[in-house]
Structure 1
C-alpha cells in the first residue's frame, strides 16, 4: 500500500487518480481511489491530469478556387471529467470543475485544471493572457501559441481570503473565428468549518485527540500543479468563569518515518487555538485569523506544552502542517504524513464573569446594533416628554468578586442609577440609564464601564432613540384654487375671476373651483353662494378630511344681456378664513357679437389685476436674486395672442412665454428675476402686450430691494434636515433631494405675507454670489406671534453646481429681509469617465503576420463615476522597438465602442492589420492609447502588448 494513501485517511482530502488506464497503488476499479477526512470534504487542490487521445481534427475547407481557407480552432476540456467546457458557458458545474464547491475556512484552496486544444489541422492557435475574476488566482497560465493539434493545461484556484461566494468569468483571447474571447463562468465559496461529532469535547475536564495531518505539493507528469492538504478540527468549551488549559502536543512521521510518513519533504504540526466569538459552533475566517495561542511540534515524538487562561466560552483547535520544506528537489510531488497526539487539561480558576441583561434578554459586549428587545433602543418619544429609562442588570457569572468601574455614557443619555462597585459571585446589580428628550432627531450614544474580567474590559454597547416633534393642535385650513392649473385664490382678493364674454341664449362660460383642506383637522363646508347671473351646477361635500379636496362649478347665466359681477362666498370651518370669498365677472352679449380674448395673470397661485404690485422681497448684493414665475391664462372666448414682454431696469426676463397664442382656457408662463448686482430699491412696470381689448398691455408693478447687509428678519429658519445622497453627480437624473425645515415668526405681532423660500448649493454656511440656486418658491405665510410651521422643498442638482463639498442652505426672504440656515452636506462630482489599463504580468510575445488581421484584447477598467454605454472610442496603436515613443516605427488607428459601468473591468477587442512592408520584421511592442468622450485619460497609454511579426 502506498504510505501516503494509507495514512491520509483522516485528511481533508479526496484524491482521484483518473488517467485512463493509469492505476495507482491500492486503487480500485478504473484506477480510482477516494480518501475522505472526518472533518471537511473536497479540499483537494488538484485532480491530477488527463492524457487522452488527440481529438479528431476539423476538416480542411476548400475555397471556390481550390485554395484552403485556414482557421485556428479552440476547445477547452476539464481534467476533472474530460468534458468540454463550452465558450460562453454561464452555468458553473461541480462535475466539470467550473464550480469549485464549498471549502471550509481551515481547508486548502482547491485547484482546477483545464486543457486548451488547437483542433485545427493546419493553423496555429494564438492565446492571450489568462484572466480570472476577483477571488481566484492563476496557478499555471497558458503559452502564447499552440501548434495544430497540440494542447496545454492551465490551472486556477479559489483564494481563501474571504468567507463568501466568489464568482465571475475566466477568459483569454484567441485568433479563432467566433472565439476571439473564450470565456466561461466559475464560482467557489469559502464556508465556516464544523468539527466532526467525535472531535467535540463539551463540559469535560480533559480530552485527548489522535489523528494525522499531511501536505503534498508539486506537479504531475504533465507539469500540472498539484497541492493537497489534510487538516483536523476539534471543538471544546470552558463552561463558566475561567480555566487554565494545558495543551500537550507530540508528532511523528506516520509508520515510523520515511518513506511512509514523508517523501522528499519535512514539516511540523501546528496547533492553533481560536475562540468561537459568535457562539455559533462554527469556525469563521475572522476567528481563524485571530488565534489566541499557537503551539508547534516537530515530527520527532517530543512533547511540546503550552498553558493559557481561557474565559467561559467555546473554542476551536486547528491542527495542520507548518514549515513545510522540500528536502529532495528531484521528487515531483514531495509530501509529509504526520501522526499527532493532542492532550488538554482544564483546571478551573477563581475568576469573575460579567453578563448584562434587559428584562431577561442578553446584551452582548460590544453590541453595535441597538434593539428594543435588548433595551438599547429607547424607541420614539415626543420632544419635552418625560425621559424614558431602561434598567439593565449586571450579573457576576464567575467565581470571584466582579469589580465595576465608573459608567461613562455618550450622546443625549444620562446615568440615573449607577451599579455597585463590587458584585459577589452569582449576585447582580442594576444600571439605570435615561434618554434626554430636549433635542429632536434620531439620537445615538453608548455605554462603557470597566471590569476586572480580562476578556470583557471595558464592557460597552451602543444606545439609540428618536425624539419627534409634538403634533400641532388639529385645525382645518381652507385653500381655494381654479381648476386646471389656474392658481390659488386669496380670501377677499382684489383680483376678479373673469368668465369672459358669452352669447345670449348660448351655453355660458364655466369655471371650476377646487377646495382643499391643507390643515390637520376636518374642514366643515357650507352651501356656496354665488351672485345674481351665476349658477352652481356642482355642489361641495359637507366635510373634507385633512388632505382631501372637492370641486364646485359656477356657470354664467346667459338669459339676460349685460355685465354680471359679485362675490362667491364659501362658508367653512377655517378659523381665520370664514367665509372665504372672491369676486367674479362675466358679460352676456347679443348673438353675433365678436368673441373676445381675456388675459388672466397669476403669480404665486394668486390671480392679479392689471397694475397690481409684485414684491420680489430683499436679496443681499451679489447673491442669486429671487425669481417669480408668472402664469398667463386666457379666460376669454377667443384666442389670446401674446406680444412683447418687457421688464424694468433692475430685472431680467429669464424665460419668455413658450406659447404666443393661447386658446380659451390655455396657459403659459414667464419667469422674471431681480438683478442683485447693485445695491438699491428697484421699482418699475413690467408689461405684457396682448390682444385683450381692455387690458393691453397688462401691467405689473415690480418692486424689490438689493441690500448691502441683510436686515433683521421677522422669520427664523431652523431644524433643516434633508434626504440627499452623500455623493451626487451634477446634472444626473438621480441627483435629487429634499429638505424639511421649520420657519418661525420671531416677532411679537402676527405675520402675513409672501415669503420666498430658496434652496442653495453653497461652499459654506452663508449665502454668497457663487452659490447655485436649486429651487425657489414663494408662498403666502400666516403665522401668529411666536408660531412656527414645517415646510419642505424638493430640488435637483443642475450641471452648474461646482464640484466639491456643498452645503444645502435654506433661505426665507420676507419684508425685504431674510434668514438662512444650513442643512445637509453633499459631495458634488462632475460626470467623468476614467479608463485605465488593468495591472497584469507581462504577456509572452504573440506571433503575427503582415497582411493578416490580428485581434488584441485590451484589458480596461472604468474608475470614473458614469458608465460608457456604447461610447465610440478611437485607439492609437503605435509599433515600437522597445515600448517607448522614441522607438516608434509605425502608427495606425482603430475604432470601437466601450461598454463599462463605473468600477467594471473587461477586455476590449481591437483589431488591426499591418500592411506588408510597413516596418521590418522582428520583435516589437504595441503601445495602445485611446480617446473617448468624457475620458480623463485620453492620450494615456493603457496597454503594452509584445508581438513578433514576419
Structure 2
C-alpha cells in the first residue's frame, strides 16, 4: 500500500543518509465517500441535518414510510468491498435498509443505499446509527447518525393579515400584511387592523394569553381578542388599534400563547409598527366657489355673503361649502347665526360634527326678511382648527318693499295673498313657484297701481307634495 522511494544519498564520512517519504499509491489504495442530497457526510457525524438527508424531518406518527437514499462512492481505481452494514443506536428498529448495494463497488464507481423510516404510532424524537464496514484504506468503519421527529395529531396555529401569512417571529412589519400601520395623526381617531388566527391542525387550538409588549405598548390596543377555542380548519379574528399620543415610530410585539406543540409556536410572536405625526385640521369656507376669510365683514354677492333682495316673508337660499383642508379630523362643535337680525337667517339641515381630511359639507343658509331694509347677521362656526377656533363672517340681505301675507289651499288651487307698495305708481308683480327652492318658474303676473292687497290663484296646484311661492316686483 505504501512505496518507499530513495530520493538522494549524501556521503558523510562512513555513513550514507537516505532521504525518503511515503506516498499512497492510487493503484492499490481504496477510499470511500458517502453523501446525501448531494452533500458529503463525514465519518462519525452525530448531528443529523435535513440538508444531507440524515434528518428525516417531522413525520406524522403512524404515517407511511419515509425513504432517504445515500450514495457510496469509490474514489480509488480498484474495487471497494462492502463487508457488512448494520443499524445501531437508540431506535434501530424504526429504520431499515432497503435496496442494499452490491458488495463490490468498481473503481471510481458508486452505489446507493436506501434507508427507510417506519414511523411508530407515538410521538417524540427517533434516532439510529448507520454503520458500513468496507475495505477502504481510510474510514473503513464508516458511521453516521440519522434521526426523525414524530408528530402526534395536534393543533397548528397560522396567523395572517390581509390574507398574507405572518411568519412566527416576523420582525419586519409590512403594509401588505397589516403589520405596518403607516402614518397616523396624533389627533386622528387612530387606525385598526384585523389579523386572522387559523387552526390548520387536526385538534382544537386553545388560545391562551394575547398581549402587546415593548416600550411603546401604550400606543397599541387589542380591541378584539380571538376566540379561546378554535376548531380544526376554522379561524378567529384579532383586532389591534394604533392610537399614537406622541410623535415618532413605535414598534411593539404581539405575543399569542396556545397549545400548539411546536416549540417555536407555543408563543407565536410578530412585530407591529406605526408612526405618529402631529397633524392638524384646517377649516375652509367657500361661497360660489370663492374662499371666504374668517373675519370678513364686507358681504359681497360674488361669494354669496350678500343675499339678493328678497320679498318680505319670502325665502332666498345660498349654499356655502365647509371643507377640511388639514390632515386630521375637523371637529365642528357648533354652527350659529348671530347678530341684530339673526332670526331672518336660518341654517337648513344639521351640519356634521366631524369632517375627515379632504371631506366637504354643503351648508345651506336661508334668508327670510321680516321687515324692509338691510338685514345683518354673522355666521359663526366653532371647531378644533387650532388657528381658527371661531370662524366668523358677516351676512347681509335686503328686505323687500312689499309683503307676502299668506299662502293657502282652496280646493285644488293655491291662493297667494300679498300687499303692494304703499306709494302709488305702476308695478308688475310676478308670482313664481318652486318645488326645491333652487329653480323657480313664473306662473303668472299682476299689474298694480300700489296701495292695495292682491290675490293670485294658482290653479290645480294640489298635486305636488310640497311647494314654495314668492312674489317679485318690477316698477314700470
Q: Could you say which structure has the greater relative contact order, defined with CA pairs below 8 angstroms and 6 or more residues apart?
A: 2
Q: Could you tell me the TM-score, scaled by structure 1's length?
A: 0.19
Structure number with bigger Rg: 2
Q: TM-score, normalised by structure 2?
A: 0.36
